Structure 1
Amino acid sequence: MTTQARSPSPTPDGPLPIRRLQESVINRIAAGEIIQRPASALKELIENSLDAGSMSIKITVKDGGMKLLQIQDSGCGIRKADLPILAERFTTSKLSTFSDLARLTTYGFRGEALASISYVSHLTVITKTKTDSCAWKACYADGALAAPRGTTSSEPKACAGNDGTTITVENLFYNTPTRLSALRSSSEEYARILDVVTKYAIHNPHVSFTCKKAGSSAPDVSTPSASTTAQAIRLLYGQTIAKDLLYASISASDQIDATSDASSEDKGETWSAEAHFTNAHYHAKKTVLLLFINHRLVESLRIKKALESIYNGILPKGASPFIYLSLQIDPQSVDVNVHPTKREVHFLDEETIIERIASSLQQKLIGQSQSRVFEYQTLLTGGIAESQNVKGKGKERENQRGTEESPTSDRTDSPSMTPSSQKPRKTLSQHKVRTSLQDRTLESMFPVTSSQTAANGGSGSKAADFDDSSPVPNPLKTREIKASECSLTSVQKLRRAIVQGTHRQLHEILEKHTFVGIVDVNRCLSLIQYSTKLYLVNHGALAEELFYQLGLRQFGNICRIKLDPPPPLKDLVKLAVDVEEGIERSSLSRPQIVDRIVDVLMARREMLSEYFSLDISADGAVESIPMLLRNYTPNLDKLPLFLMRLGPQVNWASERECFESFLRELAFFYVPEPLSPTHTDEAPQSEAEDKSMRWQLQHVLFPAIARYLVAPKSLLDRDVVQVANLPDLYRVFERC
């Protein structure tokens, strides 16, 4: 039985004397306020890297950050002369007087992060500035320089290193066992670390973030530089959220309505905000709010409740949205010195600003849609994975299908048939499965005045508009796409990864589906049927995975689409860079970015031609692009965007990651979607373009999906949704 230590009671002679705490005790208490867990330590280190102007941040974690937490950046580095006081408390380059707090625009300013980390871990720093001829390595303990293991001198030592700073935190909380025992499991702590990295990667899309476990070859979070916020959200949170995102930009000068406070201009109120938030079609169980005030990740219960309230009349009960909000306020109106970890901030006119932002987002939601769509996900394979005791029913269903097609057929010629099986059994209507390709599609249910030719890469095939009595056009005769012979280990591993990630039941649905029709070309929604079930699929997501697999399947032996005349590479990249958002936050100008991307592609044009059939001439002309699927032509309006993304989005340093990221970008280029997410009334999609895209989807893409796509489990999230089941519909009709 343990006893709790009690404070000594006052003596009869009087109160106990007041003593000054030892410096080590003071520092360790303060460290507990700043560094609460590995994720909070990483947050401080990421902020330091961003303050240093880093464009690349790589994070390595072991045992949830308790054994190892390493962050490597490409920032400006630390001067050797500053290393002796680097880990002392209240040493900073951000402040000199108290009045500087009113003009603060950086993340850190008190100089407590590295000091606090050094009190509860073994801290090592390797840093190099651009003017240094070598890097310098220093170890710290309790805020001061310490001698590395096996040495006696604590002075910084010269070593090899790149420009920037690498900070290694080992054995976190080794000297505070109570704090260490209070932490969660290593997997939960690692999940918190990934959450911090993801949030900062969303807010800093111009910075490349990488986070992985020690010893792992594949990162768990990886983002390219020179992206946009919307692209980062799509990469990190998935297409499920990205396709339902809305964007709003609000500032103090915007008038929300006629009754808005007109005195804000007189007060000199200056603030602005931008938000990416989901519409009425998306809902989750828990609200995801990424709130940044003056680029600092903070929490605000008032802002969260105000934003959740605008969804009360839009989303179903218990559903929550995804919101990213970045608020820029005059630093003189913000008090950042409220919380030890800077998790909370206070600012002037908080209630008015929150109300203005909430009203703007609400109006955007109302203007986007007056109704919401309810979707439900059920067991996709209700008729596939039967139990062992009913396996024989599969043959019985085949007999029923034969009965449905030929009710009077005589099957007594089979010697194994018993007399009871000779009688055709009546199949209930709700269990009948449509198998004839002559049955009607969605398009056949609408009257067509005249047939039109659908452009299909020069094939001259006509779009099929037919009713029940019209014959079905012959399917396109395409050659079998055979896997190329490749001895590269990286390609073989990528191919094996596809096979290992197959979802057998979803693969069967897509392989044996019957195409029903296209619901929405712009939103990439189509209907397919399997067995007695109807599925709503995101054909854009299916196509992206298909074209990635086709590119990997034909690696090194891809056909070409010749461009005549060949356009200049630099002009194409310039077109995409000129319309790209967020480049202003980069340290490079737009012409410099164009030149850098062109130089990267020109330096690797032989490899691009040999492996991917992307031919670029010596004078910088794009002569041909890869052809992944015959009779399918990608939207060439997306070619400038494709070429521009090859510069920052492809990892050229690693062979496997290079091939994978290039093929992912190529697949994204091939996705059958308009250049813009939706066509406005001012620039509607032409009827010919719509006809061509629909024809390619029905007669080229979906047959290729059934033939070649190895369905991964990731498509089950929201890209394949069951919307109807015939037996269930019959039960509803019977109740009516």
Structure 2
Amino acid sequence: MDTERRSSSPELEPQPIHRLQEAVINRIAAGEIIHRPASALKELIENSLDAGSTSIRVTVKEGGMKLLQIQDNGSGIRKADLPILAERFTTSKLSTFSDLTRLTTYGFRGEALASISHVAHLSIITKTKKDACAWKAAYSDGSLAPIKAGQTVDPKPCAGNDGTTITIEDLFYNTPTRLSALRSSSEEYSRILDVMTRYAVHNPKIAFVCKKAGSPSLDLSTPSSSDVPQAIRLLYSHSIAKELLHESISSTGNSQRDDDENDDIDDTPKSWSADVHFTNANYQAKKMVFLLFINHRLVESSRIKRSIESVYSGVLPKGASPFVYLSLEIDPRSVDVNVHPTKREVHFLDEEAIMEKIADAIQKTLAGQSQSRIFEYQVISSSRLGEPKKKISSQHKVRTSLQDRTLDSMFPIADPLILDDPLASTDHNSPSTSAVKVAEIKESAVALCSVQTLRQAVVTGKHHQLTEIIGKHTFVGFVDLPRCLSLVQHSTKLYLVNYGALAEELFYQLGLRQFANFGKLKLDPPPPLRTLVSLAVDNEEGIENSRLTKSQIVDHIVEILMRHRDMLAEYFQLHFDTEGMVVCLPLLLRDYTPNLDKLPLFLMRLGAQVRWGSESECFISFLRELAYFYSPGPLPVTPTHDSEGPSDQNEAREKSAKWQIQYILFPTMRRYLSPPKYLLDRDVVQVASLPDLYRVFERC
């Protein structure tokens, strides 16, 4: 039958070979590079990183199919290069084929923008630092196109910041088969977030932002001053970050733990170094999360993934998977990056030997850690199980009553003074003062990206153990008022705290929380700005060595502050009138008044220390100076001729300061402070533990 059918069919004639049209060639090539919105975004993020950007902002509509916009603050594109920008194989990275062996950039073939222009509507706004204005251009099929109908194709001048903004609209509008093959917009958007998350982990010094068009909230936001563990904690979860282990491995055989920087790579072609963050045996997930970067390029490798999975097969139960971030740096001469259209895969020399050494280091660390695994457990109340309640031993009992005596109540004090200051005349030992209600401080609504990034950095940098201590402490008493030292109790432990350092961080965070919505602290009568700055300059050491006279320094500081007075009034409620009088100061905390003796120094430091040229740095430095002004410090002593003791005024100041610190400052810290880890180094120190004290007394 088959023989008869073949014999009855007409003989096939060879078809002529012809050259495809250029438009068909370009669309086929574009399909190899741009698979979906996430692949287009990956190419654009790499271009932004190559341009030296420190901030990358992405806006998405309908999963990137309707709109995909990426904005960076990199070096920008020269106007002269715009006509050939979207042509195929136009690049600033390569000149000869041999340059591939020394490649240290992400992009090199010049295909990304060309491919996008063939399957989407592409427009670009760019500005270099040398340009007086930004330039806008549109592209279609690799060539310049009119921005609007009836206009010429030449780039048009426009307003814009340094850097580049690339806008992709109607992706795959002319390839309906590719468009119909995409998943839902929500799934495509999740792929976009996944790409940005991975690059944000690998580039913790760069600020990444991603949001949906028209949405006021950010779906991804990272600060520009974190490290890899902090980025993992922010972008993945705290449960992963707290179980992370770290290893640094290199071809020299060195293995460094902690966060030491890797040694410089040798000058031999086979030199390499690896930095890997991986979870311990306490963390178990259903699916492995594997972030692989080779020479800072996000890639995939099933072989490398399998080798790491084999390490965990002997540590985790069946079906459980780890989290692994691996950054591998290899001499460019040993890597072939040109093996995949999207650069998703790379090949390199001695892959098996390198991965064996990395896997051995991971396995050794896991084996050592598993000897002291920490298991989390939950205690079920015995009363719920119908069992008698167990007796708690004395050394584990915790006093929590707010009526307990403080250190001050254990020493004799003089009769209360009759003072004009209502705070100072308060009976500080009365129960009513301990019941002062903490004022509610609402977070202001701010659209500025810089402020949102700073707020997110506070959340990211919060140390959870220290937050627990401060949030549930009981004030014990003052130890040394001039040195800002006091005692607080948490559970069965006693801590010596530098409340001045804690207060400075608190007021910085309160400033961020109330940005552009401060209360006002009016000065009546308003003092002259120039006089206050002059007082600070006269008392500042080292001014004599300056090239400027004291009068010139005062003039310069006053001129800076008056030049920015509109901004200071709008954002911070720091008001200077046209005659140079200080009318209002920002009020950070109700019922708390800063030491106004520090006002001249505060105003002088504003002019000298605030970095006015950058929005984010301006806000940080101003709020830090404001926090320093508000934080308690040593009290000034009024001179007295009474040899028997301090004056009534000095004692009144001390009582008023203690009242504010104990009944206003510490309760506000308990509610609003998100303390960073650096405060644990020397500002919060454990001095006693009740169980340990019981052991000492038992031996006695």
TM score, norm. by length of structure 1: 0.58
Counterpart of 1:481 in structure 2 is: 437
Cα deviations by residue, 1:663-717 (Å, 9 ceiling, x for unpaired): 9xx73317899449xxxxxxxx9761666999xxxxxxxxxxxxxxxxxxxxxxx
Task: Write the distance in 2 (CA, Å) between the matches of 1:175 and 1:295.
Answer: 34
Alignment of 1:585-600 (within 5 A): 600=619
Q: 1:558 to 1:304 in 2, by over 3 A?
A: farther
Question: C-alpha distance in 2, partners of 1:301/1:310?
Answer: 14
- What are the within-5 Å matches in structure 2 for residues 380-391 of structure 1? none
* CA–CA separation in structure 2 for the residues paired with 1:168 and 1:597: 25
- Partners of 2:590 and 2:396 in 1: how far apart? 39
User: SS of 2:385's equivalent?
Assistant: helix
Q: Hey, what's the Cα distance between the residues in 2 that align with 1:218 and 1:228?
A: 24
**Does the residue aligned with 1:154 lie in a helix, a strand or coil?**
coil
**Equivalent residue for 1:58?**
57
Is the 8 Å Cα contact of residues 443 and 513 (structure 2) preserved in structure 1? no
- Tell me the secondary structure at the aligned position of residue 127 of structure 1: strand
Aligned CA distance change for structure 1 residues 229 and 671 (closer, same or farther; 3 Å): closer
- What SS class does the counterpart of residue 43 from structure 2 fall into? helix
Q: Which position in structure 1 is the counterpart of 2:119? A: 120
Identity of aligned residues (%): 56
> What one-letter code is carried by the residue in structure 1 that aligns with 2:673?
A
Q: State the Cα distance separating 1:148 from its structure 2 match.
A: 2.1
Answer yes or no: is the 8 Å Cα contact 1:315–1:372 preserved in 2: no
Q: Tell whether 2:624 aligns with 1:668.
A: no
1:603 maps to which residue? 622
Q: Counterpart of 2:352? A: 351
In structure 2, the partner of 1:4 is none
Q: Secondary structure at the match of 1:149?
A: coil
* Matching of residue 430 in structure 1 with residue 398 in structure 2: no
Q: Distance in 1 between matches of 2:318 and 2:409?
A: 49
Paired letter, 1:430: L
After superposition, the Cα gap between the structure-2 partners of 1:146 and 1:554, relative to the gap in structure 1 and judged at 3 Å, is: closer
Letter in 2 for 1:332: R
Structure 2 partner of 1:300: 301
| Partners of 2:269 and 2:333 within 8 A in 1 | no
1:136, CA displacement in angstroms? 0.6
**In the aligned structure 1, how far is the partner of 2:93 from the partner of 2:193?**
28
| 1:422 paired residue number | none
Displacement of 1:366 in angstroms is 2.1
Confirm whether residue 106 of structure 1 aligns to residue 105 of structure 2.
yes
1:559/1:626 contact within 8 Å kept:
no
Say if 1:109 and 1:318 are closer, same or farther in 2 by CA, change over 3 A.
same
Amino acid at match of 2:118: Y
Distance 1:667 1:302, change over 3 A: farther
Shift of 1:308: 1.6
* Distance in structure 2 (CA, Å) of the matches to 1:265 and 1:559: 61
For residues 131 and 592 of structure 2, the distance between their equivalents in structure 1, rounded to whole angstroms, comes to 48
Q: Is 1:252 the counterpart of 2:251 in the alignment?
A: yes
How far apart are residue 283 of structure 1 and its match?
1.4
User: C-alpha deviations, 1:137-194, integer Å up to 9, x for none?
Assistant: 0000111111123323111111111110000000001111111111111111100000
Partner of 1:430, secondary structure, is: coil
- Residue 46 (structure 1) aligned with residue 45 (structure 2): yes
- Paired residues of 1:92 and 1:110 also in contact (CA < 8 A): yes
SS at match of 1:61: strand
Alignment correspondent of 1:208:
207
User: Which letter maps to 2:54?
Assistant: M
| Shift, 1:281, TM fit | 1.4
- Supply the AA of the counterpart residue of 1:168: T
Give 2:589's aligned amino acid: N
1:148 and 2:147 are equivalent in the alignment: yes
Change over 3 Å in CA distance of 1:672–1:207 after alignment to 2: closer
- Cα separation, 2, equivalents of 1:140 and 1:198: 29
Matched, 1:83 2:82: yes
Structure-2 separation of matches of 1:288 and 1:344? 18
Count of aligned residue pairs for this structure pair: 499
Counterpart residue identity of residue 286, structure 1: K
CA–CA distance in 1 between the matches of 2:285 and 2:229?
Answer: 19
Which segments of 5 or more consecutive residues in structure 2 lack a partner in the other structure?
Answer: 1-8, 257-264, 411-430, 453-467, 474-489, 493-505, 520-587, 603-610, 635-656, 694-700
Structure 1, unaligned stretches of length 5 or more? 1-9, 258-263, 384-426, 463-474, 495-509, 516-524, 528-543, 570-591, 618-622, 636-662, 677-684, 695-736
TM-score, normalisation: structure 2: 0.61
Q: 1:165 to 1:489 in 2, by over 3 A?
A: closer
Which stretch of the first structure deviates more once superposed, 240-249 or 79-88? 240-249
Name the SS for the 2:312 alignment partner.
Answer: coil
State the match for 2:129 in structure 1. Answer: 130
Superposed displacement of residue 489, structure 1? 6.0
User: How far off its partner does 1:444 sit?
Assistant: 3.8
SS in 2 for 1:161: coil
In structure 1, distance between residues paired with 2:372 and 2:98? 51
Aligned counterparts, 1:307-326, within 5 A: 307-326=308-327
Q: Distance in 2 between matches of 1:119 and 1:170?
A: 12
Q: Distance in 1 between matches of 2:163 and 2:154?
A: 20
Do structure 1's residue 31 and structure 2's residue 50 form an aligned pair?
Answer: no
Aligned residue runs from structure 1 range 256-405, under 5 A: 269-373=270-374
CA distance in structure 2 between the partners assigned to 1:457 and 1:247 by the alignment: 47
Q: Report deviation, 1:432.
A: 6.6
Query: Bigger CA drift: 358-367 or 51-60?
Result: 358-367
Structure-2 change in CA distance of 1:89 and 1:216 (3 Å): same
